[in-house]
Amino acid sequence: MNRPLLIENARVVDPASGTDARGAVLIENGVVTDLALAGPVGVPEGAEVIDAGGLILAPGLVDMRVFTGEPGKEYRETLQSAGEAAAAGGVTSFVMMPDTAPVVDDGALVDFLIRRAKATSRVNVLPAAAITKGLAGQEITEFGLLKEAGAVCLSDGRHSIQSAALLRTAMSYAANYGMTFVHHVSDRSLTGDGVMNEGLFATVLGLKGIPREAETIPLARDLQLAALTGTTYHAAQISCRQSVDLVAAARSRNKRVTAGVSINNLALNENDIGRYRTFFKLSTPLRAEDDRQAVIEGLRNGTIDTIHSDHDPQDSEVKRQPFAEASDGAIGLETLLAAALRLVHSDDVDLLTVLRALTSRPADILGLPSGRIARGAPADLILLDLDYPWQVSERDIRSRSRNTSFEGARLAGKVMRTWVAGETVFQQAD
């Protein structure tokens, strides 16, 4: 049995309940057993007591979109290295996308990954199961067996299903099994050979653009099919004003619709590509500043539910290429929270809204008990210094890959300590 743990003198911020007050939290056997706000809390005999020093005590982050290398490409990322990066960034649970080798489209592999993660990762790894076999978009997988094995949702990861008929069938089965349907929206024929946002800047750089319609057309289709089938639908990541408007309109009629946004599309825009900087080559691409402001407004007004890292480790051989030939993707587990806090420091979005999109909302969408500070909830918590200044440096990255979009960025706000089930999995050295 672990010793009880009391975290006192903390600014307790729990977006699920709207709490933001000075208080203390008691943890026993991996769960929160007591919560005292502006009042005393009973301290069991022999308990470890930690003085938070007025820092923010918040739920651990739940990241809904993380790619790993394991199995198949462990040189890019293992479950262990991803867990270490996540813990340092305050992410206590992440959804692992099925884009691995082999693809996570079989119940036995889901079971293996859960056991492998428990043995090697410091945080909770939640496998997403593929919607289609081999992510090929041709034949749906065995949803019931995948759910029984422990898959938390259905997704084809970075792939987008092109057939509306197949999508309708898949959504209908997902609704029958009560599984959240997470889909990346991209029309392959409109994306074509595009490598960045379509517009003047792409023309100046001499690069082929990806129009916003490559996102909005399949999104409009998905939203109609979601209403038709009654499935719980989550647009994996949206990036432009038109998409925000589509989701807002759909949500007024269908409460089972939610949407996410990558931290990259919240914190960066197409101009960050500069002179062909391939660490900024992403899918969905970085859009114009007007679009970035639109997704910020969507987050502020509740149209966008979740913020995720879109953590996608790539080795230098595939990133240090001419821009048009480089692979998409950037790592983000360690910078997710600090980059999101830019919106708080700039007064664009309040702290509770940002933390809600990183904790309780993704937990609610996935049906998880985490993402909140409440009696009986898992003691997955972070201690956050909101104003801690630091600079992203490649030498300090814990991920096996180094393709960060925030190299050299000066950020304010850092996780000082991370607990998973009441156990410390990360502590800031200084």
Minimal CA–CA distance to 357: which of 374, 376, 344? 344
Instruction: Please give the sequence-ordered ranges of beta strands (E in DSSP) within 199-334, or none if there are none.
Output: 209-210, 233-235, 257-262, 306-308
- For residue 295, what is the enclosing H or E element? helix 289-301
394: how many CB neighbours lie within 10 A of its CB? 10
- How many Cα atoms within 13 Å fall on the side-chain side of residue 354? 23
d(C-alpha 170, C-alpha 141), whole Å: 9
Q: d(Cα 205, Cα 101) in Å, to the nearest integer? A: 35
| Among candidate residues 332, 326, 184, 342, the one with its CA nearest the CA of residue 260 | 184
> Quick check: helix, strand or coil at residue 289?
helix
Active site residues: 310
Cβ neighbors of 160 (< 8 A, separation 6 or more) are: 137, 183, 184, 185, 186, 187, 188, 218
